[in-house]
Structure 1
Amino acid sequence: MESQFKRKGFSKDFNLMVIGQIISILGSALLRFALSLYVLDITGRADLFAVLFAISSIPILLAPFGGAIADRFNRRNLMVIFDFTSSIIVFVFFVVLAIGNSSIFLIGVVMVLLSFVSAMYAPTVMASIPVLVEEEKLEQANGIVNGIQALSNVAAPVLGGILYGMIGLKVLVIVSGLFFFLSAILEMFIQIPFMQREQNGHIISTLVNDLKEGFSYVVKQSFIFKCMILAALLNLLLTPLFVVGVPIILRVTLQSSDTLYGVGMGLIDFATILGALSMGYFAKKMGINNLYFWIFITALLIVPMALSVTPIMLNIGYYSSYTLFVGSALLIAMIMTIISIYVITVVQKETPNENLGKVMAIIIAVSQCMAPIGQILYGLLFEGFSVNIYVPILIISVVMVVLAIATKRILRFEVSEAVK
């Protein structure tokens, strides 16, 4: 009966995990947004908040350790523990707020602790997906999970802004804690296949050895290693374009109004969601042997972005530049999401279950660590070419063409029969 159900749709366990993800991620996003508004309200300093966020991002480096834990223990139990832990952190934070302590240091500690739990949580979820869905639906399942994350990034500012003004920080903190708690309760009803592995020695030394094995596995498996490098390079090149480049161009170069700036950023977020949720359709058209083509298309789409901010286009008029720029950005965001999910899915299919957590966590940590480097480089590029802002965009396009050619060459003979 269960297998028949899975042929028609996703399993009950996967659906429960998705609902838990929606609740947990929305709670986290709401709290993050509320804290951002609160810090800006009490200090008026955006730079201080940027430092807090940078510090709170450091725990992502511990993601591989979370992956080792995910491969050693019951993943369902881990998800429950992580959400319960987040709820406890948030409830304690509320108590401290209630007695009048609302220092920036306290907020920083809370953000770091929640980021640490998140770093442990993410690889557990990514490693659970392949054992909860059939292989032919893996791309679609990954798309749904990524879509939830993207949707929360869109919904949180809207809901957070409304709720923060209506009920204030303290009530929002309680709501966020309840979300984590509810997610943990829901996850208790999930059944994830688990086989106890033999433990040699103390648990810490066992996890350290598991982690060494994970890194060794990634390096030795040529195909997985190259996929990780590809994911890291895409994160280095494209993510900062949207985090740093798009806001600068919309706000500074095009001098967009608050409304049109918000519309542009919102549409790009929507394109990310659309790319994630349409993964089931595009998965049928993608393959390792034609992945370079999708990267090449992305490189070509960057050219109209550059064209939109050339002096000629800017002289024609604002709306023509704005439409061309945002339209190109939408397509790139959608394709970037599709490529990212596809690469992760292929790696999941190629990785044995006992190594899934570690491999997913290593790829997540390496690729996400590249984004800040790219943001610094892009900041320097856009500052240096502030008069001719189209130049750095064209440079990105050329680099992407080179990456497409390199992808065609290095992945040509690295795909197994299982993923052809």
Structure 2
Amino acid sequence: MQDNMIYTPSPKNFNLMVLGQIISIFGAALLRFALSLYVLDTTGNESMFAALYAISNIPLLLAPVGGAIADRFNRRNLMVIFDFTSSAFVLCLILLMGAGNHSVLMIGVIMVALSVISALYTPAVTASIPLLVAKEKLEGANGIVQAVQALSGVVAPILGGVLYSGFGVHNLLVMSCAAFFLSAVMEIFIQIPFSKRERDGLMAAMIFKDIKEGFAYVIKKRFILKAVILAAILNFILVPLFIVGAPIILRVTMRSSDSAYGLGMGMIQFSTILGALTVGLFSKRMKVKTLHRWSLVITMLLVPMALSVTTFMLGLGYYPSFILFMVCGVPIAAAVTIISIFIVTKVQKKTPDELLGKVMAIMMAVAQCAAPLGQIMYGNLFKTFRETPYIPILAAVSAMLAITFIMRQMLKNEGGTA
């Protein structure tokens, strides 16, 4: 659409985009897992399986490039091109494997390529949301999109394993190829406002210039810089506590059975999805300048969570410790999701459309870089304090107390709701 055309947000356009995102994100995540599993079965090499799965996620750090592209070109067309390209890559893999080429290198290249496409695809979606929904519905729309992303991380490995064992890798590839193609066809019918920008040099130079412009804008706008810092802090302190700490506590410290472990981790994952879907309800009463109150509540919940893994509580039996841990962990995970989406929505509303893709992508990249660092930190902490696992949680309590004070000082002049 051209810049002079009048556009009214339509639920149809948003629904089509979400449906396309479900197919694309689930398809990419499912394929990365299933192809890693295929390599494991083919080579019997566990380290290669883990390495391939990890390497296929590295291109997600290309988000700033995806953001620059999303601001430079028609976002609807980008989604269509990315899904058609994904379908073409999978088709090439089907043909190569059908011809007897089962090279691990070739599979790895395809996995990385799909991950690159996913990294470029997500900023186009995120930057399109404010253009497809009314301003008062933006929190709920962001929640739906984030819920889809969270759900893909939970369901894709499970569904990938089931489809892989039930249908085989060839049929799984055919289904994925068709799904990407269908998603691209659906996205053709989405209408997203677009103002064409003039080219002022070579494409690579323009993209690099746009990325620099995005970083300069983030640094210049104090609230957006604060939001990026907060997103990084949450991903460094709290998110890895559940990704690394929760499995160790449930499996090693509490010695949970397979079913209890699955229930515990499932409840934590579900709470993040629930937080994303209910953010619209909470955001009506949330204010930026009082976000430190949410941080304080999280800090208070971390204290009984630490208590749940003390010698005293563990001595009372399995269920008191397990129940106390989950009663604290579930609302914390939901609260972190709600805060994250609230902050992202506030940034979206303050950012001009021509910079939206870059700014959103920068937030995403910074948060993604912070999370692995936090995972390494908690991994070392829980290894060092294996006999006293409450110490890493108490360390998180201390960190969150400091963060609560910092948030209060940082955001006290940021009045109003998002």
Give the TM-score of the pair, scaled to structure 1: 0.94
The aligned counterpart of 2:42 is: 42
The aligned counterpart of 2:147 is: 147
Displacement of 1:129 after TM fit? 0.2
Q: 1:385-400 to 2 correspondence within 5 Å?
A: 385-400=385-400
Please state if 1:159 is matched with 2:128.
no
The aligned counterpart of 1:234 is: 234
Displacement of 1:226 after TM fit? 0.7
Whole-Å separation in 1 of the counterparts to 2:244 and 2:54: 15
8 Å contact from structure 1 (residues 304, 325) kept in 2: yes
The aligned counterpart of 2:409 is: 409
The aligned counterpart of 2:290 is: 290
The aligned counterpart of 2:203 is: 203
The aligned counterpart of 2:368 is: 368
Please state if 1:110 is matched with 2:115.
no
Displacement of 1:44 after TM fit? 4.3
Q: 1:124-143 to 2 correspondence within 5 Å?
A: 124-143=124-143
The aligned counterpart of 1:246 is: 246
8 Å contact from structure 1 (residues 215, 362) kept in 2: yes
Deviations 1:309-342 (A, max 9, x none): 1100111001111111122221111111111111
Displacement of 1:32 after TM fit? 2.5
The aligned counterpart of 1:20 is: 20
Whole-Å separation in 1 of the counterparts to 2:242 and 2:364: 19
Q: Cα RMSD between the aligned structures?
A: 1.8
Aligned residues: 413
8 Å contact from structure 1 (residues 27, 175) kept in 2: no
8 Å contact from structure 2 (residues 71, 354) kept in 1: yes
The aligned counterpart of 1:217 is: 217
Whole-Å separation in 1 of the counterparts to 2:46 and 2:340: 31
Q: 1:344 to 1:195 in 2, by over 3 A?
A: same
Partner of 1:363: helix, strand, or coil? Answer: helix
Percent identity between the two aligned chains: 57
Q: 1:59 to 1:33 in 2, by over 3 A?
A: closer
Displacement of 1:143 after TM fit? 0.3
Q: Structure 1 stretch 97-106 or stretch 110-119: which is displaced more?
A: 97-106
8 Å contact from structure 1 (residues 385, 392) kept in 2: yes
Deviations 1:237-286 (A, max 9, x none): 11211211111111111111111111111111111111111111011121
Whole-Å separation in 2 of the counterparts to 1:139 and 1:40: 41
Q: 1:3-82 to 2 correspondence within 5 Å?
A: 11-82=11-82
Q: 1:142 to 1:243 in 2, by over 3 A?
A: same
Whole-Å separation in 1 of the counterparts to 2:249 and 2:104: 31
Whole-Å separation in 2 of the counterparts to 1:253 and 1:22: 36
Whole-Å separation in 1 of the counterparts to 2:409 and 2:45: 48
The aligned counterpart of 1:262 is: 262
Q: 1:157 to 1:208 in 2, by over 3 A?
A: closer
Displacement of 1:104 after TM fit? 2.9
Q: Structure 1 stretch 148-157 or stretch 66-75: which is displaced more?
A: 148-157
What one-letter code is carried by the residue in structure 2 that aligns with 1:380?
N
Q: Structure 1 stretch 47-56 or stretch 388-397: which is displaced more?
A: 47-56
Q: 1:40 to 1:252 in 2, by over 3 A?
A: farther
Give the TM-score of the pair, scaled to structure 2: 0.95
What one-letter code is carried by the residue in structure 2 that aligns with 1:397?
V
Structure 1 runs not aligned, ≥5 long: none
